[in-house]
Structure 1
Amino acid sequence: MIMRISSKTIYDVGVGQISSLQSALARTQSQLSTGRKNLTAADDPIATARALEVTQSQGINTQLVTNRANAKGMLSLETVALHSSGTIMQDIKTLLVNAGNGSMTQKDRESLAVELEGRLQDLLGQANSSDGVGGYVFSGYKSTTLPFTQTATGAAYQGDQGQRSLQVGSTRTLPISDSGASVYENNATGNGTFVTGAAPGNLDRGGSGIISGGSVKDATQLTGNRYQIDFQVVPASPGVPKVTTYTVTDLTLNQPVPATPVPAVPQPYVSGQNITFDGMQFDIKGDPADLDSFSVEPSTKQSVFTTITDIISALRAPGDGPAGQASLSNKLNQAHLNVDSAYDNMLSIESAVGSRLKELDYLDSSGDDLNLQYATTLSGLQDVDVVKAISLFTQQQTNLDAAQKSFKTLSGLSLFNYIS
């Protein structure tokens, strides 16, 4: 049976086939020009959805890189301020040692006091360090508030206790600041457990007793109570030497130490001999006067600016003669412990900041690896195989050329061409 094909059918079929080949060729050309194998979501819905998820994760990772850079900037500023503050504290410790020289005159001590005033201003400058964007490093959440203002007794903290933080990892939020209170005010007085001191009246009575900072002998016996050591002096008489004794009173419980017998039996005083009770141990040297007293109290928190201001006041107080030297030594001994506590606190915080910076380096390395993984995954989902696409493009181009030539030949087979 002979099937007759009309000229219209020949044209419709030919044009349709050529259009299909052209569309396929154009699609391959678009893949090559864009480098993407999936031009629309319909090409591969699953790969497209997966690529969207990976792209979102990649964007989050990019933001975390920015966050880590900002965190490094803030922590680096804090490190500089803490290091400079530590250097200032070392200078102050040196000045304290010099101040204890018994050969110094009141004029010499005044020179040291003036120098300490300069160090106090330097330290305030570091505590009020700017973050470079209109805020302050140590003001907590109140970033635009000047952290410290100088007062007659040291400095007043205007910030809050907040510790700013940033998300620097998918599951890690890192502190990027420390409050000024934790750096410059959170310093234990004395030896960290208790603080010893001499009563101001000792100077007027001419006593030259000097009490040490002491140490903890047995932590299990500590009470956290307040104590007072009172001296009694019986002057020497012909044939009878001077007798100096002391009693210890627990001011919190209002009873002698030890509690029995009552009244308390005065203990003989020997210069430099350890005095031990309720887990604490210290000594008193020199020659206390009758009714002189010394205190032992639980450690508290004190601002480093208060400590420095107290040192300046001590240097400007009368310090001549045995009693004056003893009064100055008692104040300087206490100041040494307080300065050491403040310096150790700064070093501890500086170390913590260094640990955060090191962690950020690790997170950066991990983030780089993760970004490479995301890029590799996206490439597998989206990137076209260039060699395969070029081969396909050449094949499609050949097919299109053949289709066009054959259509031209077929469309030319018409009976009208042979009718003369």
Structure 2
Amino acid sequence: MRLTFNMQFNQSLNGILNAQQRMTKAESQLSKQTRILSPADDPAGAAKVLSLDQNKTQIDQYQTNSILLKNNLALQETVLTSMRTSYDRVLTLTIASGNGTYGAEQRKAIAFELRNIQTELFDLMNTRAADGSYIFAGYQDKTPAYERDPVTGVFEFKGDDGNRALQISQSISLPGNDSGKAIFESVFKRFQPQVTLAPAGANLNVSNQTTFDSFYRANFDSLNPLNNQFSLQIDAGGSYQLLRNSTAVNPPVTGSYTAGQPISFNGLTFNLDAATTLPTQVDFTLPPPEQTNVLNTIQRYIDILNDPNATSDELSVVLADTLQEIASTSSNVDGSLANLGGRLNVVDSVFNTNADLLISNQQYKADISEVDLAAALTEIKRQEVALQAASQTFQKVNATTLFDYIR
């Protein structure tokens, strides 16, 4: 009898504990809004939920990267837009200073404004992001992109051509900055020939820069310097021809020279003194291309404007150089702005796509694990009834005595 009593007691107690456990689980599911409290509740569902959580974490990081990338690109866009406005002002001042009626004081006034613009551009080219990095310095973003040599006064690029990319989706990575080397340093000085031999009073000018630039790019030989040597030869009868490396060019360039009249060729104009004795020749070479940056371009023009001994011809040459180099820099900036706009569009598109993926992720996770409110409340009520029944049974068993069994 004692054994039977103990068995009934233990069964009743276990009934209460099991009912309490089931009720606690139902309440936890309701409070946590999930039916999977542990992998044992639904192994397959728990694995899917874990995968969805990992996917959400990854997309959240992509979204964080997108925001950071957009802020970086927006900052660069603002800086380049401001610089583009400054370039236009430099062009305006440069063209105005070419007015032959301007005196020394007016040129100095223009030089003073150009120096202020130069200082502004120098600051913009050393713009720092919120984290203190120099946005145009490439990978060397802890130091300024540009510095001025205290001895020579030359502005030098101190960064590199790297850019830091940020991952904004599983397959899309975009650079968050552009190196100043690509934007500001990839500017060629104005192409122009270098006269090596000419009779007195003769000169060689670039009359059409676009045409000459095309000729230069098509003919400059970086491997054989002799192919960069040209000669305009005029014989005693006034017939002329153009030679390259002592050989007639192909197609031939020939004609008849009239004393005092210019000879034009591919954007070049040869001017000889009318009294020049024939035969004669003008030798010139195509010098190697050189690169510069806008800061040095402006500095050179400031120097010529402030030089009281500069001739009109010297001023004209530097003016043409400045116009050409500023235009090239402006073109680089325009290209960078267009590229930035494209990247910003991609960032916005990917950000919206990722936001949609997060919503789908959340919905799928809810379908797998989210608890049904009505079912959870029903289960709690059912377990509450079961617990009450088990408690009542336990009370009866616990009140049973040996006399009850005897009866």
TM-score by length of 1: 0.79
Deviation string, structure 1 residues 327-373 (Cα, Å, up to 9, x no partner): 42233223212211111101111221222122111111011111111
For the 8 Å contact 1:314–1:331, the answer to whether it is kept is yes
Match of 2:207 in 1: 211
Match of 1:224 in 2: 220
Give the drift of 1:219: 7.7
Give the drift of 1:266: 6.9
Match of 1:360 in 2: 347
Shift of the 265–30 alpha-carbon distance from structure 1 to 2, 3 Å rule, reads closer
Of 387-396 and 72-81, more deviation after overlay is shown by 72-81
Tell me how far apart the structure 2 counterparts of residues 329 and 70 of structure 1 sit (CA, whole Å). Answer: 47
Equivalent residue runs for 1:11-160 within 5 Å: 11-151=9-149, 152=152, 154-160=154-160
| Structure 2 alignment gaps of length 5 or more | 222-227
Give the drift of 1:254: 4.8
For the 8 Å contact 2:195–2:204, the answer to whether it is kept is no
Equivalent residue runs for 1:122-201 within 5 Å: 122-151=120-149, 152=152, 154-190=154-190, 195-196=191-192
Tell me how far apart the structure 2 counterparts of residues 294 and 319 of structure 1 sit (CA, whole Å). Answer: 27
State which of 302, 313, 316 in structure 1 corresponds to 2:303.
313
Give the drift of 1:67: 1.3
Instruction: Verify: 1:371 aligned to 2:367, yes or no.
Output: no
| 3-state SS of 1:349 partner | helix
Give the drift of 1:402: 2.9
Of 15-24 and 59-68, more deviation after overlay is shown by 15-24
CA RMSD of aligned residues (A): 3.9
State which of 252, 262, 267 in structure 2 corresponds to 1:282.
267
Of 148-157 and 286-295, more deviation after overlay is shown by 286-295
2:53 aligned partner, one-letter code: T
Give the drift of 1:157: 0.9
Shift of the 132–293 alpha-carbon distance from structure 1 to 2, 3 Å rule, reads farther
For the 8 Å contact 1:74–1:176, the answer to whether it is kept is yes
For the 8 Å contact 1:231–1:244, the answer to whether it is kept is no
1:80 aligned partner, one-letter code: T
Matched residue pairs, number? 393
Shift of the 114–338 alpha-carbon distance from structure 1 to 2, 3 Å rule, reads same
| Structure 1 alignment gaps of length 5 or more | 235-242, 276-280
| 3-state SS of 1:83 partner | helix
1:351 aligned partner, one-letter code: A
Tell me how far apart the structure 2 counterparts of residues 388 and 128 of structure 1 sit (CA, whole Å). Answer: 63
| 3-state SS of 2:95 partner | helix
TM-score by length of 2: 0.81
Shift of the 135–407 alpha-carbon distance from structure 1 to 2, 3 Å rule, reads closer
Tell me how far apart the structure 2 counterparts of residues 335 and 294 of structure 1 sit (CA, whole Å). Answer: 23
Tell me how far apart the structure 2 counterparts of residues 103 and 230 of structure 1 sit (CA, whole Å). Answer: 36
